[in-house]
A and B are shown apart, each in its own frame.
Chain A
Amino acid sequence: MEEYLDTIKQIITDLHPELDDGDRDGLVTDGILDSYDIITIITQIADEFDAVITADRITPETFDSAQSIAELVDEILNG
């Protein structure tokens, strides 16, 4: 899972340069990521890891931190 984490943090900081690093909680619950950002993250994850995130997996909890997104990618790829 660690192998996904750095890339996901990078994607998040590219979208929100005001965050020092992408390693923080509350990305959705604190209103940092909006729906546009989430879709951009999903697209980039599909490009980088070939992991397809379907709509039923998009919840505030799964996108609330780089760690939870990495866990989701890990679950998709390694079941």
Chain B
Amino acid sequence: MLFTSYAFIGFLCAGLILYRLAPVKVRPYILLALSYYFYAHAGLWCVILIVSTSIVAYVVTVRMDNMTRARKEFINANKESLSREEIKDYKAKDKKRRKLVLVCGLILTLGLLTVVKYTDFTIANINSLLDLVGCDSKLGFLNIIMPMGISFYIFGTVGYMIDVYREAVQPTHNPFHTALFISFFPQLVQGPISRYGDIKDDLLSPKPLKSDSLKLGAMRILWGFAKKLIIADRALVAVKAITGDPGTCSGAYVVAGMALYALELYADFTGGIDITIGAAQMFGIGVKENFVRPYFSKNVAEYWRRWHITMGTWFADYVFYPLSSSRFMRKVSGTLKKSKLPRRAAQRIPVYITSAVVWFATGLWHGASWNFILWGMLNFAVIMISQELEPLYAKFHSRFDRRITCRRGEDKKLRMRFEKLSLQERMSRAPYKAFAATRTIIILSCLRMLDCYGNVGITFKAFGSIFTSIFSGGTPSGDAVSGITTGFSAFFDGSMMTLGLTGYDYLILLVGMLTLFAVSMIQRKGSVRERLFALPFAVRAALMIALFTAVILFGAYGPGYDVGQFIYNRF
């Protein structure tokens, strides 16, 4: 069931009526039934997998919690007779036993994800290796259908189990509540990856609904629809045309594709999350924000702290920190410190090794193919290089960054001075921020080509064509016949109109982009919806009607448009 379908709107309305009419205590069960009804549209196979995951999560978390309780009771009962060392020893043994339970849970859940998502990828690589050694026999593909949202709910489940193991949260002993946390329907399409501790109160112990939650939620959904239908699905047409014919659409087209994909991906993913957060809010459930104006980031590392935040923090908390502080990495770090390496290098290498592992996993999480793995490793390389060059940047800026000031001297004459800027001053200057944000967008657009084309060879060829076609005037062989140019002139001679979009479409995209930028600027000072709420009713209503009309009039649907699923849904 697509978020942007009439079926979903009908389902949401009916669900809200049921939920609001039901007694507060029954509401989690209504929500569970709604979630399973929603997910059943993806197929019985998907339901079987999510039920299996829920059973594993329930058994593992309850078992760990029972062990923790038994330990606490035992220590409390024998506090006086046990020495400090004995208590420590008992705690360590209990931790070991709980770890065993956790590991079983992790093997089952992550194993399920691995089998479903990565079996055919592994078979393809084995077949390539067999080819290399000249072996004729091949393994057959299993063609397993990947269930919708499996990467998201498995990660949510894994986080929940680890948090219970760490005693950071108290698990529920109600299996239906566990199932609801894992299957809460707005999050099944494309996340965010919620933490049990953040969402459990709203989800499992609902309070009487606030009157504003319905209006605020509906507003957020409408904004998400506008982003997805007016911008993302419109830009998708041109992106598909460019990536679908990389032989013809080279040079300037690749640049256009990069820019349009940057816009499409932002509108698509943030629009989808707007619908998720809005739908959850209508049920009185607060879901964490997944973005904080990511295109305003000054570097790639900052971008990843502001884009798909719940995934970034998941990898940080459950992979990066445990791996960095593991006994193995401490050993590596100790060995490096004893070597002749400089101190800074000895400190940084273990962190970078862990970081490389995390980025490899991030790439693999996005998709079972080499283009995603390379994409992850390139992100790592960019972040690592910029971290290592930081002292050099600081040196450069301390030498060249100056502020020109004019002051009157004692003789009352104006004197011009070049004053040094501090790092903080430089970073807070608007031109520097704009430059740094543009640089980040360009770097990320280059990296995203791997995702866009979905093939490493084609991506590099397309990227290379930017330089060969554009700087050589851009009429590769064959193109002269069709009249297509791939040089810079393609931006002005009407060539871009051959991508399935008209001038009217480009105008809508431009206005859409400027609107997104304006909203982001306002957002820096606080919630836009809360500001809207402060306006008189008539103004607020007029704005909402205008947005609704814009979705109806300018939304990309009907003949010539492909109402697509959300990009992150395939992950």
- B405–chain A nearest beta-carbon distance, Å: 22
**What chain A residues lie within 8 Å of B320 (beta carbons)?**
35, 39
Are the C-beta atoms of A55 and B347 separated by less than 8 Å?
Answer: no
Which residues of B in the span 369-388 have a Cβ within 8 Å of any Cβ on A? 387
A35 and B348 CA atoms in complex are apart in Å by 12
- B114–chain A nearest beta-carbon distance, Å: 22
A57 and B316 CA atoms in complex are apart in Å by 13
Contact with B along A32-72 (1 / 0, CB 8 A): 00111011101110110000111110100000000000000
B122 at the interface (CB under 8 A from A): no
- Supposing A18-B424, A31-B305, A34-B301 touch, asked if A58 and B325 sit within 8 A by C-beta, the answer is yes
- Supposing A18-B422, A18-B424, A40-B347 touch, asked if A55 and B322 sit within 8 A by C-beta, the answer is yes
Are the C-beta atoms of B325 and A54 separated by less than 8 Å?
Answer: yes
Q: List 9 tightest A-B contacts by C-beta distance, closest first.
A: A55-B322, A56-B166, A55-B321, A39-B324, A58-B321, A39-B351, A18-B423, A55-B325, A35-B316
B333 at the interface (CB under 8 A from A): yes
**What chain A residues lie within 8 Å of B423 (beta carbons)?**
18
Contact with A along B318-332 (1 / 0, CB 8 A): 001110110000100
Are the C-beta atoms of B324 and A42 separated by less than 8 Å?
Answer: yes
A39 and B344 CA atoms in complex are apart in Å by 13
Are the C-beta atoms of B354 and A39 separated by less than 8 Å?
Answer: yes
**Given A18-B424, A55-B317, A56-B166, 12 extra CB contacts under 8 A:** A31-B305, A36-B351, A36-B355, A39-B351, A39-B354, A42-B324, A52-B325, A53-B325, A56-B167, A58-B317, A58-B321, A79-B84
Main secondary structure of the interface of B (DSSP, over half): helix
Are the C-beta atoms of A42 and B325 separated by less than 8 Å?
Answer: yes
Name the CB-closest residue of A to B312.
A35
A35 and B46 CA atoms in complex are apart in Å by 36
Name the CB-closest residue of B to A18.
B423
Chain A interface: which size bin? 20 to 34
Which residues of B in the span 269-309 have a Cβ within 8 Å of any Cβ on A? 301, 305
A39 and B355 CA atoms in complex are apart in Å by 11
**What chain A residues lie within 8 Å of B305 (beta carbons)?**
31, 34
Name the CB-closest residue of A to B318.
A55
A34 and B390 CA atoms in complex are apart in Å by 14
Chain B interface: which size bin? 20 to 34
A74 and B205 CA atoms in complex are apart in Å by 37
B168 at the interface (CB under 8 A from A): yes
B192 at the interface (CB under 8 A from A): no
**What chain B residues lie within 8 Å of A38 (beta carbons)?**
321
A43 and B333 CA atoms in complex are apart in Å by 8
Q: What are 9 A-B contacts defined by CB distance under 8 Å? A: A31-B305, A35-B316, A35-B320, A35-B321, A39-B324, A39-B325, A40-B351, A44-B347, A58-B317
A34 and B333 CA atoms in complex are apart in Å by 19
Residues of A within 8 A of B (CB): 18, 31, 34-36, 38-40, 42-44, 46-47, 52-56, 58, 79
Which residues of B in the span 346-365 have a Cβ within 8 Å of any Cβ on A? 347-348, 350-351, 354-355
Name the CB-closest residue of A to B422.
A18
- B351–chain A nearest beta-carbon distance, Å: 5
Are the C-beta atoms of B166 and A43 separated by less than 8 Å?
Answer: no
- B291–chain A nearest beta-carbon distance, Å: 16
**What chain A residues lie within 8 Å of B167 (beta carbons)?**
56
A31 and B387 CA atoms in complex are apart in Å by 16
Max chain A Cβ within 10 angstroms of own Cβ: one of B166, B324, B355, B424: B324
Name the CB-closest residue of A to B324.
A39
Are the C-beta atoms of B351 and A52 separated by less than 8 Å?
Answer: no
Are the C-beta atoms of B347 and A43 separated by less than 8 Å?
Answer: yes
- A10–chain B nearest beta-carbon distance, Å: 14
- B11–chain A nearest beta-carbon distance, Å: 37
- B369–chain A nearest beta-carbon distance, Å: 27
- B383–chain A nearest beta-carbon distance, Å: 9
**What chain A residues lie within 8 Å of B321 (beta carbons)?**
35, 38-39, 55, 58
A44 and B316 CA atoms in complex are apart in Å by 19
A6 and B390 CA atoms in complex are apart in Å by 26
**What chain B residues lie within 8 Å of A54 (beta carbons)?**
322, 325
Contact with A along B332-350 (1 / 0, CB 8 A): 0100010000000001101
Contact with A along B151-195 (1 / 0, CB 8 A): 000000000000000111000000000000000000000000000
Name the CB-closest residue of A to B354.
A39
Are the C-beta atoms of A56 and B168 separated by less than 8 Å?
Answer: yes
Which residues of B in the span 502-556 have a Cβ within 8 Å of any Cβ on A? none
A52 and B324 CA atoms in complex are apart in Å by 12
**What chain B residues lie within 8 Å of A35 (beta carbons)?**
316, 320-321
Residue among A18, A36, A43, A53 making CB contact with B387, cutoff 8 Å:
A36
- B313–chain A nearest beta-carbon distance, Å: 10
A56 and B422 CA atoms in complex are apart in Å by 37
- A79–chain B nearest beta-carbon distance, Å: 8
Name the CB-closest residue of B to A56.
B166
